[in-house]
Structure 1
Protein backbone atom coordinates (compact mmCIF):
# COMPACT_ATOMS: atom_id res chain seq x y z
CA UNK A 1 0.00 0.00 0.00
CA UNK A 2 2.71 2.50 0.97
CA UNK A 3 4.79 1.48 -2.04
CA UNK A 4 1.85 2.15 -4.32
CA UNK A 5 1.34 5.59 -2.72
CA UNK A 6 5.01 6.52 -3.32
CA UNK A 7 4.69 5.35 -6.91
CA UNK A 8 1.72 7.67 -7.50
CA UNK A 9 3.44 10.55 -5.72
CA UNK A 10 6.47 10.09 -7.98
CA UNK A 11 4.28 10.03 -11.09
CA UNK A 12 2.43 13.16 -9.98
CA UNK A 13 5.71 14.93 -9.16
CA UNK A 14 7.16 14.14 -12.58
CA UNK A 15 3.94 15.28 -14.27
CA UNK A 16 3.99 18.53 -12.26
CA UNK A 17 7.59 19.23 -13.24
CA UNK A 18 6.80 18.54 -16.91
CA UNK A 19 3.78 20.88 -16.82
CA UNK A 20 5.83 23.63 -15.13
CA UNK A 21 8.66 23.25 -17.66
CA UNK A 22 6.13 23.43 -20.50
CA UNK A 23 4.63 26.57 -19.01
CA UNK A 24 8.05 28.24 -18.79
CA UNK A 25 8.81 27.27 -22.39
CA UNK A 26 5.45 28.57 -23.61
CA UNK A 27 5.81 31.83 -21.69
CA UNK A 28 9.47 32.68 -22.30
CA UNK A 29 10.61 30.89 -25.47
CA UNK A 30 7.83 29.66 -27.71
CA UNK A 31 6.60 31.64 -30.72
CA UNK A 32 3.02 31.11 -29.48
CA UNK A 33 2.91 32.61 -26.00
CA UNK A 34 3.37 36.31 -26.70
CA UNK A 35 2.17 38.61 -29.45
CA UNK A 36 2.87 42.28 -28.73
CA UNK A 37 0.47 44.90 -30.05
CA UNK A 38 3.44 46.57 -31.73
CA UNK A 39 7.07 45.50 -31.82
CA UNK A 40 9.43 47.08 -29.31
CA UNK A 41 12.10 49.42 -30.56
CA UNK A 42 15.52 48.00 -29.79
CA UNK A 43 18.56 49.57 -31.42
CA UNK A 44 20.77 46.57 -32.23
CA UNK A 45 23.72 48.95 -32.82
CA UNK A 46 23.89 49.71 -29.09
CA UNK A 47 25.67 46.68 -27.59
CA UNK A 48 24.56 47.30 -23.98
CA UNK A 49 21.66 49.16 -22.40
CA UNK A 50 20.72 49.78 -18.78
CA UNK A 51 17.41 48.64 -17.30
CA UNK A 52 16.16 49.78 -13.88
CA UNK A 53 14.32 46.95 -12.11
CA UNK A 54 12.30 47.29 -8.91
CA UNK A 55 10.23 44.10 -8.59
CA UNK A 56 10.55 40.45 -9.52
CA UNK A 57 13.47 41.13 -11.86
CA UNK A 58 15.63 41.79 -8.79
CA UNK A 59 15.86 38.01 -8.26
CA UNK A 60 19.06 36.58 -9.79
CA UNK A 61 17.57 33.16 -10.49
CA UNK A 62 14.57 34.65 -12.33
CA UNK A 63 16.76 36.88 -14.52
CA UNK A 64 18.87 33.85 -15.36
CA UNK A 65 15.78 31.88 -16.43
CA UNK A 66 14.44 34.78 -18.52
CA UNK A 67 17.67 35.95 -20.17
CA UNK A 68 19.53 32.64 -20.18
CA UNK A 69 22.56 34.26 -18.61
CA UNK A 70 23.43 35.82 -15.27
CA UNK A 71 23.48 39.62 -15.05
CA UNK A 72 25.49 41.79 -12.73
CA UNK A 73 23.49 44.50 -10.99
CA UNK A 74 24.18 47.69 -9.14
CA UNK A 75 21.93 49.48 -6.69
CA UNK A 76 20.09 52.53 -7.97
CA UNK A 77 17.36 54.99 -7.01
CA UNK A 78 14.64 56.48 -9.17
CA UNK A 79 13.49 59.82 -7.75
CA UNK A 80 10.07 61.31 -8.41
CA UNK A 81 8.26 57.96 -8.40
CA UNK A 82 6.64 55.74 -5.80
CA UNK A 83 6.08 52.02 -5.99
CA UNK A 84 2.46 50.85 -6.13
CA UNK A 85 2.05 47.07 -6.21
CA UNK A 86 3.57 45.92 -9.54
CA UNK A 87 3.96 49.44 -10.89
CA UNK A 88 5.59 52.80 -10.30
CA UNK A 89 3.67 56.07 -10.30
CA UNK A 90 5.01 59.63 -10.55
CA UNK A 91 5.00 61.40 -7.19
CA UNK A 92 7.01 64.46 -6.20
CA UNK A 93 9.43 63.81 -3.38
CA UNK A 94 9.12 60.02 -3.55
CA UNK A 95 11.75 57.51 -4.63
CA UNK A 96 11.95 53.88 -5.68
CA UNK A 97 14.99 51.80 -4.81
CA UNK A 98 16.01 49.07 -7.18
CA UNK A 99 18.85 47.73 -9.28
CA UNK A 100 20.27 48.46 -12.71
CA UNK A 101 21.05 45.65 -15.15
CA UNK A 102 23.28 46.21 -18.16
CA UNK A 103 21.90 43.99 -20.92
CA UNK A 104 22.44 43.10 -24.57
CA UNK A 105 19.76 43.66 -27.22
CA UNK A 106 18.82 39.95 -27.05
CA UNK A 107 18.48 40.11 -23.25
CA UNK A 108 16.34 43.27 -23.60
CA UNK A 109 14.04 41.37 -25.99
CA UNK A 110 13.76 38.58 -23.41
CA UNK A 111 12.92 41.10 -20.67
CA UNK A 112 10.32 42.72 -22.95
CA UNK A 113 8.72 39.32 -23.43
CA UNK A 114 8.72 38.59 -19.69
CA UNK A 115 7.09 41.96 -18.95
CA UNK A 116 4.64 41.47 -21.86
CA UNK A 117 5.66 44.76 -23.45
CA UNK A 118 2.68 46.35 -25.15
CA UNK A 119 0.25 44.02 -23.38
CA UNK A 120 0.93 44.55 -19.65
CA UNK A 121 3.83 47.01 -19.53
CA UNK A 122 5.46 49.79 -21.51
CA UNK A 123 9.19 50.50 -21.50
CA UNK A 124 10.21 54.11 -20.87
CA UNK A 125 13.51 55.91 -20.54
CA UNK A 126 14.10 57.54 -17.14
CA UNK A 127 16.92 59.44 -15.46
CA UNK A 128 18.19 57.84 -12.26
CA UNK A 129 19.35 59.69 -9.16
CA UNK A 130 23.01 59.39 -10.21
CA UNK A 131 22.25 60.99 -13.61
CA UNK A 132 22.39 57.79 -15.68
CA UNK A 133 19.61 57.01 -18.14
CA UNK A 134 17.93 53.60 -18.02
CA UNK A 135 14.85 51.80 -19.29
CA UNK A 136 12.08 51.06 -16.80
CA UNK A 137 8.93 48.98 -17.19
CA UNK A 138 5.70 50.76 -16.25
CA UNK A 139 2.29 49.09 -16.08
CA UNK A 140 -0.20 49.94 -18.83
CA UNK A 141 -3.63 51.15 -17.71
CA UNK A 142 -6.19 48.35 -17.68
Structure 2
Protein backbone atom coordinates (compact mmCIF):
# COMPACT_ATOMS: atom_id res chain seq x y z
CA UNK A 1 0.00 0.00 0.00
CA UNK A 2 2.78 2.45 0.94
CA UNK A 3 4.69 1.53 -2.20
CA UNK A 4 1.65 2.21 -4.39
CA UNK A 5 1.10 5.55 -2.64
CA UNK A 6 4.74 6.51 -3.17
CA UNK A 7 4.50 5.68 -6.89
CA UNK A 8 1.25 7.63 -7.18
CA UNK A 9 2.74 10.72 -5.54
CA UNK A 10 5.89 10.46 -7.67
CA UNK A 11 3.86 10.16 -10.86
CA UNK A 12 1.66 13.07 -9.80
CA UNK A 13 4.72 15.27 -9.29
CA UNK A 14 6.53 14.11 -12.42
CA UNK A 15 3.61 14.50 -14.85
CA UNK A 16 3.52 18.34 -14.82
CA UNK A 17 7.30 18.49 -15.25
CA UNK A 18 7.18 16.14 -18.23
CA UNK A 19 4.31 18.14 -19.75
CA UNK A 20 6.16 21.44 -19.23
CA UNK A 21 9.34 20.03 -20.79
CA UNK A 22 7.38 18.74 -23.78
CA UNK A 23 5.64 22.08 -24.25
CA UNK A 24 8.97 23.91 -24.10
CA UNK A 25 10.62 21.52 -26.56
CA UNK A 26 7.83 21.74 -29.12
CA UNK A 27 6.86 25.43 -28.89
CA UNK A 28 9.77 27.39 -27.43
CA UNK A 29 13.06 25.57 -27.89
CA UNK A 30 15.46 26.57 -30.67
CA UNK A 31 15.61 22.99 -31.99
CA UNK A 32 12.13 22.26 -33.33
CA UNK A 33 11.36 25.14 -35.74
CA UNK A 34 13.41 26.31 -38.67
CA UNK A 35 11.90 29.40 -40.25
CA UNK A 36 11.48 28.68 -43.98
CA UNK A 37 14.04 30.77 -45.91
CA UNK A 38 11.45 32.03 -48.44
CA UNK A 39 9.58 34.03 -45.79
CA UNK A 40 10.12 37.80 -45.86
CA UNK A 41 12.01 39.47 -43.03
CA UNK A 42 9.96 40.98 -40.20
CA UNK A 43 10.07 44.78 -39.97
CA UNK A 44 10.67 46.60 -36.68
CA UNK A 45 7.03 47.28 -35.88
CA UNK A 46 4.95 47.84 -33.93
CA UNK A 47 2.70 45.19 -35.45
CA UNK A 48 -1.02 44.62 -34.90
CA UNK A 49 -2.04 40.95 -34.73
CA UNK A 50 -5.64 39.69 -34.60
CA UNK A 51 -5.88 36.48 -32.54
CA UNK A 52 -8.92 34.23 -32.26
CA UNK A 53 -7.73 31.01 -30.60
CA UNK A 54 -5.31 30.03 -27.86
CA UNK A 55 -3.54 33.40 -27.99
CA UNK A 56 -6.66 35.04 -26.51
CA UNK A 57 -5.49 33.62 -23.17
CA UNK A 58 -3.05 35.83 -21.25
CA UNK A 59 -1.16 32.83 -19.89
CA UNK A 60 -0.46 31.53 -23.40
CA UNK A 61 0.76 34.96 -24.58
CA UNK A 62 3.01 35.18 -21.53
CA UNK A 63 4.54 31.79 -22.32
CA UNK A 64 4.92 32.54 -26.05
CA UNK A 65 6.41 36.04 -25.96
CA UNK A 66 7.03 36.88 -22.33
CA UNK A 67 4.12 39.16 -21.44
CA UNK A 68 0.35 39.18 -21.48
CA UNK A 69 0.20 42.65 -23.04
CA UNK A 70 -2.90 44.84 -23.10
CA UNK A 71 -4.99 43.47 -25.95
CA UNK A 72 -8.20 45.12 -27.04
CA UNK A 73 -11.36 43.37 -28.25
CA UNK A 74 -11.58 43.18 -32.03
CA UNK A 75 -13.85 41.76 -34.72
CA UNK A 76 -12.98 40.36 -38.13
CA UNK A 77 -15.93 40.60 -40.53
CA UNK A 78 -16.36 38.36 -43.55
CA UNK A 79 -14.72 35.36 -41.91
CA UNK A 80 -15.91 32.37 -39.88
CA UNK A 81 -13.88 30.36 -37.42
CA UNK A 82 -13.47 26.67 -38.24
CA UNK A 83 -11.68 25.00 -35.33
CA UNK A 84 -8.07 26.20 -35.71
CA UNK A 85 -8.64 28.15 -38.91
CA UNK A 86 -10.55 31.00 -40.51
CA UNK A 87 -12.37 30.90 -43.81
CA UNK A 88 -14.09 33.62 -45.78
CA UNK A 89 -17.82 33.64 -45.10
CA UNK A 90 -20.19 36.36 -46.22
CA UNK A 91 -22.14 37.87 -43.33
CA UNK A 92 -20.06 36.09 -40.67
CA UNK A 93 -17.62 37.56 -38.18
CA UNK A 94 -15.04 36.33 -35.71
CA UNK A 95 -14.51 37.89 -32.29
CA UNK A 96 -10.96 38.02 -31.02
CA UNK A 97 -8.28 40.26 -29.59
CA UNK A 98 -5.96 42.78 -31.17
CA UNK A 99 -2.38 42.51 -29.93
CA UNK A 100 0.31 45.13 -30.42
CA UNK A 101 3.75 43.52 -30.59
CA UNK A 102 7.28 44.45 -31.59
CA UNK A 103 9.51 42.68 -34.13
CA UNK A 104 10.88 40.09 -31.70
CA UNK A 105 7.43 39.30 -30.30
CA UNK A 106 6.02 38.86 -33.82
CA UNK A 107 8.86 36.45 -34.57
CA UNK A 108 7.99 34.52 -31.41
CA UNK A 109 4.34 34.41 -32.50
CA UNK A 110 5.50 33.18 -35.93
CA UNK A 111 7.42 30.41 -34.19
CA UNK A 112 4.43 29.45 -32.03
CA UNK A 113 2.17 29.30 -35.10
CA UNK A 114 4.89 27.54 -37.16
CA UNK A 115 4.79 30.23 -39.86
CA UNK A 116 5.36 28.75 -43.30
CA UNK A 117 4.83 25.21 -42.05
CA UNK A 118 1.44 25.15 -40.36
CA UNK A 119 0.17 28.74 -40.79
CA UNK A 120 0.58 31.74 -43.05
CA UNK A 121 0.39 35.31 -41.78
CA UNK A 122 -1.99 37.49 -43.81
CA UNK A 123 -3.01 41.17 -43.70
CA UNK A 124 -6.70 41.77 -43.00
CA UNK A 125 -8.92 44.75 -42.30
CA UNK A 126 -10.79 44.57 -39.01
CA UNK A 127 -14.37 45.76 -38.51
CA UNK A 128 -13.13 49.12 -37.20
CA UNK A 129 -10.94 49.67 -40.28
CA UNK A 130 -7.59 48.87 -38.65
CA UNK A 131 -5.11 46.68 -40.53
CA UNK A 132 -3.75 43.64 -38.70
CA UNK A 133 -1.94 40.38 -39.26
CA UNK A 134 -3.88 37.15 -38.81
CA UNK A 135 -2.63 33.57 -38.89
CA UNK A 136 -4.43 31.17 -41.25
CA UNK A 137 -3.85 27.44 -41.62
CA UNK A 138 -1.97 26.25 -44.66
CA UNK A 139 -3.50 23.47 -46.72
CA UNK A 140 -2.13 20.07 -45.74
With normalisation by structure 1, the TM-score equals: 0.89
Name structure 2 gaps, 5 residues minimum.
none
After superposition, what is the alpha-carbon deviation per residue over 1:1-25, rounded to whole angstroms, capped at 9, x for unaligned? 2x32221122212322221121122
The residue that corresponds to 1:105 in the other structure is: 103
Match of 2:12 in 1: 13
Partner of 1:130, secondary structure, is coil
Query: Any stretches of 5+ residues in structure 1 without a counterpart?
Result: none
Q: Which residue of 1 aligns with 2:127?
A: 129
- Once residues 84 and 20 of structure 1 are traced to their aligned partners in structure 2, the CA distance between those partners, rounded to angstroms, is 27
Matching residue of 2:56: 58
| Superposition TM-score, scaled by structure 2 size | 0.91
Does the Cα contact within 8 Å between 2:28 and 2:112 map onto a contact in 1? no
**Aligned residue for 2:75?**
77
Q: After the TM superposition, which residues 25-64 of structure 1 pair with which residues of structure 2 at under 5 Å, given as runs?
A: 25-38=24-37, 39=39, 41-44=41-44, 46=45, 48-64=46-62
Aligned-residue RMSD, C-alpha: 1.5
SS at match of 2:60: helix
1:89 lines up with 2:87 in the alignment: yes
How many aligned residue pairs are there?
Answer: 139
